[in-house]
Structure 1
Amino acid sequence: MTITAKIPLPPVAESPHWEAQYLDLMQRIWETGDERRDRTGVGTRSLFGATIRFDLSGGAMPLLTTKRVYWKTATRELLWFLTGETNIRTLCAQGVEIWTDWPLDRYRRETGEEIERADFSKRIVEDAAFAAQWGDLGPVYGKQWVDWPVFEPVGETTSGEALFRRRSQGINQIAQVIESLRNNPGSRRHIVEGWNVAELDAMALPPCHKTYQFHVADGRLSCILYQRSCDLGLGFAFNMWSLAALTRMIAQQCDLEPGEAVWMGGDVHLYLNHAALVEEQLSRTPGGQPVLSFARRPESIFDYRIEDFEVRDYTPQGHISAPVAV
C-alpha cells in the first residue's frame, strides 16, 4: 500500500455553526492524525477520543450542510434497526444499499462470482431463498437492541455440565429504556448496548455505534452515544443524524422535550483515499439550520414510518462521493 503525503490545508474559518466542531475535527485528523494500516487495507489517519455536542431545542437537527446527507436513507436504516431484522432484503427493497457491500463481499469470496452490486441487490429482493442464504448480517445492531439473547438452565449432562436453552424472545432494550425513562427518569441506567461479546464473531461487522445512554433534566431528554470506531468522512453524518432522530423519537414517546445529542468517538479516522472529500468539504462554509417535525405520534417507538419524518429548511451544498472501505 502506498501511503499518501499529508496535504497542507487552510485553516477552517471560525463560525458559531455547530458544524464547525465537525470540520475542525476533520482538519485535525487529516493534518495530525496517526497514520496506520487498518482492517480494510486502505489505511487511515486517526485520533483517539473526540466529542461533538448538538442542542436539539426547537426541532433542530444535526444535518451536515457542507455536503448533502441523505437523511431518509439514514432514517430507514434506523427504523430497520428497531424491527430487530438482520437481513438486508428489507433495506434493498427500499433502495437502501448501505449494508449491501458486506454480504456481497462474502458472496464473491465464497462463490467466486464477480456479480455487480446492483444485480446482487436485485436478486436479494426477488429471491427469498437467495436472500436467506446470502443476505443475513448476523446479530447486528437491531437484534441486540430489541432481542438481546437470554439463556435459561434446563438441566445438566450426565457428567454434571449445565445445559442451557435460548429463550424464544430476548431482552428488548429499547422498550425497557423507555419504560425506565417514564417511571424513573432520574436513573443512571438508561442504557442501550450493542456490544454483545458472545456474538461479535457472528456479526458481519461488530457495532461501531455501540452504547447509548439517556439522561433527563428539567423535562428534557439528552443522549450520549459512544462510538468505538468512526469513519468521519462517510459514516459520521448518518451516525449523528440517527443519534438525534432516536433521541427525538424517544422524547416524543416519553412526553419529554429534546435536550442534547452528544456524540463521543473512540478511534475517529479518515481513510487515506478520501483526500478529495476532505479538501472539498473543508473548503466549504456551513450554513442554515434544518429542523425535524413529526407528522404524528405513533402508538409506540416501533410504529414510526418514514412518512412521519418531516425535515424543513435543509439547503445543503452538493453531495461529495467517496469510496466505502469494507
Structure 2
Amino acid sequence: MNMISKKRIAAAALSLLCATTAYSQEKVLNLYSARHYQTDDQLYSNFTKQTGIRINRIEADDAALMERLRNEGKNSPADVILLVDAARLWRAQVEGQFQPVRSAVLEERIPANLRGGDEGQGAQWFGLSTRARIIVYNKVRVKREDVATYESLADPVNKGKVCTRSGAHPYMLSMIGSMIERNGEAATEKWAQGMVANFARPPQGGDTDQIKGVASGECGIAVANSYYYARLLRSTKSEDREMMNKVGFVWPNQEGSGTHINVAGGAVAKYAPHREAAVKFLEYLAGDEAQAYFANGNNEWPVVSSAVAKNPVLQQMGKFKAENVSITAIGKNQIAAQKILDRVGYK
C-alpha cells in the first residue's frame, strides 16, 4: 500500500471518528432533575422515541442537585436542570448555573412572566408547569368567608387556627415574595406578625401534613400547593376519602390580585456538553403533549394555553383567577421575605 493510500485511509478513519463522536453527542442528554414523579417517566421515554436522544437521568432534591453542580463546576456533564419553585430557580440563576437560550418555540409558548433572566440575551430558565397555593379549611371549625384571602389568615377571627410548613421552605418564601411584590414589605411584615399570633401549632411538616392537620381538627386553616390537595382527592384509599370529606378549599384573592402560582421549570446548564439536545428537550416539554402530561400525571397546570388537560380532579376544582406577578420578582424577593420571617419569629 502506497503512502497516498495510507493517508486517505487515515483521513477517512478520522472523519468517521469525528462523525461518530458528533452523532453520539447529539443522541445523549444528561438530565439533572428535582422532579420525582413517576408519571414523568413517560415524558422522557416519549422524547427518546421521537428524537432518538437517550436521556441519562440523575434525580435528587433541589439542594443536593445544586451542591453537585457546584462541586462539578466546568466538568459537569449536566445538559438540562429541572427545579421546583421560583425561589430555587432564581438562586440557581444568580449562582450562574444556567446559560441564556434564544428559542422562538419557547418564547412563543411560555408566557413572559413565567420566564427568568435577561430577555435581551435570552431567558435563562422557563416555567414548564404551574401549581397554585390554596387555602384549606376545616368545614366544621371555619367559615369559608373568613378565609377568602391570604391576608385574612392574619385576622383575629382566625386566632389559634392557622397551620403552615416552615416559613423558610421555598414554597412559603415564594408566596411571601409574591405578597411583598403586591403589598410592599411593611404590609407583609404586619401580615406575618398576625400569622404568628394565629398559629395553632409551630410550623412543621409538609403540605400533606397541613391538610391532615386541618382534617383532624388540630388546625382550622392551612396553606398547601394545589397538587397535594388534588392528589388526595384522586386517592382510592378509604382513609383519604374520609379525610377529604372534612375539608374544603379556597382559591384566595379572587376579588383582587388572584391566587399565587408557582412553577416547576427547566434550564440549559451553563456547561452543557449537548446544548442542541438540551434546547430540543425544553422545546419538547413546552409541546402540547408534554404539557398535558404535567396536568394528567401530577395534577399541575400547563403553562401553554393550547394544551388540553383531561384531569377530572382539576376540572372538579374549577377555574380560578391567577396572579400576574413576575416569577423572577418573586424569586428576588425571597431574601426580603426571609428577613421578615426572622424578625417576626416565623420559624
Q: TM-score, normalised by structure 1?
A: 0.24
Larger radius of gyration: 2
Greater percentage in helix:
2
Larger strand proportion, structure 1 or 2? 1
In the superposition, the TM-score normalised over structure 2's length comes to: 0.23
